[in-house]
Amino acid sequence: MTLELISSDRCPFVQRSIITLEHKSVPYTITYIDPYDPPEWFSALSPLGKVPVLKIDDREVLFESAVINEYLDEITPGSMHPADPLEKAKNRAWIEFGAGSLGNTFNIMAVESEAEYNKVKQALRDALERLEGVCSDGPYFNGEHFSLIDTSYAPLFIRLSLLQEMTGLSVMEGLPKVTRWQASLLALPEVQKSRAPNLQTRFVELMQQKKAWGLSLLKPEYLP
Ligand SMILES: N[C@@H](CCC(=O)N[C@@H](CS)C(=O)NCC(=O)O)C(=O)O
């Protein structure tokens, strides 16, 4: 079987699938495109016009990161979901919940006013407070077992940590469980490997392109 992941180097949803592929040691190739200026073949391939898309044997196409991840998990040994149906359903629901915060890590680098920035920051904080109420004492969301839900939140924690480093964004105070969860995920090789090496530069490019208010918070060492 051949697997090709159609990707963009700035996309957190793509990272979810890379982490699963790496964690399960599945061989794959990766093809980068710009989903906002896609080649024609991509528009024909992708029903929603979004990355990631997984091509299987150059024949079948899967889209939606959560669906791609479940497929990858099911075709490889060992399950990355809780066995209990209710726990599994709850994990799926919280995976969906995380998509909004991933979008907000983009929004916080794109909005043009301080008021909008503070609104997005508050939405991120509210989401993290909710997660504090449902995640385990660590190291991962479900406890000892690294699960698909962890692959879904790792890209969020990468972005929050980068934004903290680059702009001083702080949304984690007083949230010990989420802070521990973030540290456990950031320490994993598959999580580090999923991150494009030029992510900081790409964030600055995005903020410049959007004339984002967040640029005013950028520490001097990150200024272009
Ligand atoms: N729900 C989708 C979201 C994927 C997504 O939003 N991808 C963005 C890049 S990070 C994209 O391809 N956007 C292109 C567009 O909206 O035209 C998933 O989980 O796979």
Give a three-class secondary structure readout of 142-199: CECCCCHHHHHHHHHHHHHHHHHHHHCCCCCCCCHHHHHHHHHHHCCHHHHHHCCCCH
With b for 16 or more beta-carbon neighbours within 10 A and e for fewer, the 24-43 pattern comes to beeebeeeebebeebeeebe
Distance 72 CA to ligand 1 centre (A): 19
- Beta-bridge partner residues of 62: 54
- pLDDT at site 3: 98
Residue range 164-181, pLDDT digits in tens: 999 999 999 999 999 999
The alpha carbon dihedral of 109, 110, 111, 113 has a sign of: positive
CB 129 within 8 A of CB 97: no
Distance 144 CA to ligand 1 centre (A): 30
Check whether 33 has a pLDDT greater than 90: yes
Q: How confident is the model at residue 224 (pLDDT cuts 50, 70, 90)?
A: confident
Instruction: Kindly tell me if the per-residue pLDDT of 223 is higher than 90.
Output: no
User: Which of 5, 7, 13 for a ligand 1 pocket mutation test, highest count of atoms within 8 Å of Cβ?
Assistant: 13
Residues with CB under 6 A from ligand 1: 8, 11, 13, 35-36, 49-52, 64-66, 99
Mean pLDDT of the chain: 97
CA of 174 to the centre of ligand 1 (A): 31
* Active-site annotation holder among 3, 5, 6, 11: 11
**For a substitution probing ligand 1, which of 17, 51, 62 has the most ligand atoms within 8 Å of its CB?**
51
- Mean pLDDT throughout 192-204? 94
Averaged pLDDT, 8-16: 95
Please report the atom of ligand 1 found closest to the CA of residue 102. Answer: 10
Catalytic, 135? Answer no
pLDDT grade for 89, boundaries at 50, 70 and 90? very high
**Which pair of structure tokens corresponds to residue 34?**
């710009």
Kindly provide the b/e burial profile for residues 81-98, where b requires at least 16 CB atoms within 10 angstroms of the residue's own CB. Answer: bbeeeeebeebbebbebb
Average pLDDT over residues 40-53: 95
Each residue's pLDDT tens digit, 138-167? 999 999 999 999 999 999 999 999 999 999
Q: Domain ranges for the chain, please list them.
A: 3-74, 85-222
Gap between the Cα atoms of 214 and 103, Å rounded: 16
Q: What kind of architecture, by CATH, is found in domain 85-222?
A: Up-down Bundle (1.20)
Q: Give me the mean pLDDT over the 96-107 stretch.
A: 97
pTM to 2 decimal places: 0.97
**By C-alpha distance, which of 23, 125, 140, 141 is closest to 90?**
141
Rounded to whole angstroms, the Cα distance separating 213 from 160 reads: 17
How do 53-56 and 29-32 pair as beta strands?
unpaired
Which atom of ligand 1 sits closest to the CA of residue 103?
A: 6
Q: Give the CATH class of 3-74.
A: alpha beta
What integer is the mean pLDDT of 191-206? 94
CA–centroid distance, 13 to ligand 1, in Å, is 7
| Pocket-testing residue among 8, 36, 50, ligand 1, by greatest number of atoms within 8 A of Cβ | 50
Tokens at residue 98, please? 């995380």
Q: For residue 53, report the distance from its CA to the centre of ligand 1, in Å.
A: 10
**Tokens linked to 69:** 């991840």
Q: What are phi and psi of 63, to 5 degrees?
A: -130, 170
Q: Whose CA is nearest to atom 1 of ligand 1?
A: 64
Name the E strands within the chain.
3-7, 29-32, 53-56, 60-63
